[in-house]
Amino acid sequence: MSVNCPSCDWPAPTVVSAHGTVRYLRCVCGQWLIVDDGLVVATTGNSLFGRRDTSQR
Ligand SMILES: [Zn+2]
């Protein structure tokens, strides 16, 4: 299973943690991907993980 970052198209975001079929990946560009059973179900910028940065949206 691999996903491309929707932000920068990096082909191999790093898996940070996994819970069942859900995986949390972090891209080199700072984008977070939440993948469930091989499908990207959510993405976030830098802002949702401990940092507020309104420029991401
Ligand atoms: Zn990226």
Distances (CA, A) of 47 to 11, 20, 44: 22, 25, 7
* Distance of CA 9 from the midpoint of ligand 1 (Å): 6
The pLDDT value recorded for residue 19 is: 94
* Distance of CA 51 from the midpoint of ligand 1 (Å): 17
Give the residue ranges of DSSP H helices in the chain: none
Quick check: pTM over 0.85?
A: no
Q: What is the pLDDT of residues 36-47, one digit of tens each?
A: 998 889 988 655
CB distance 23 to 35 below 8 Å: yes
* Distance of CA 20 from the midpoint of ligand 1 (Å): 24
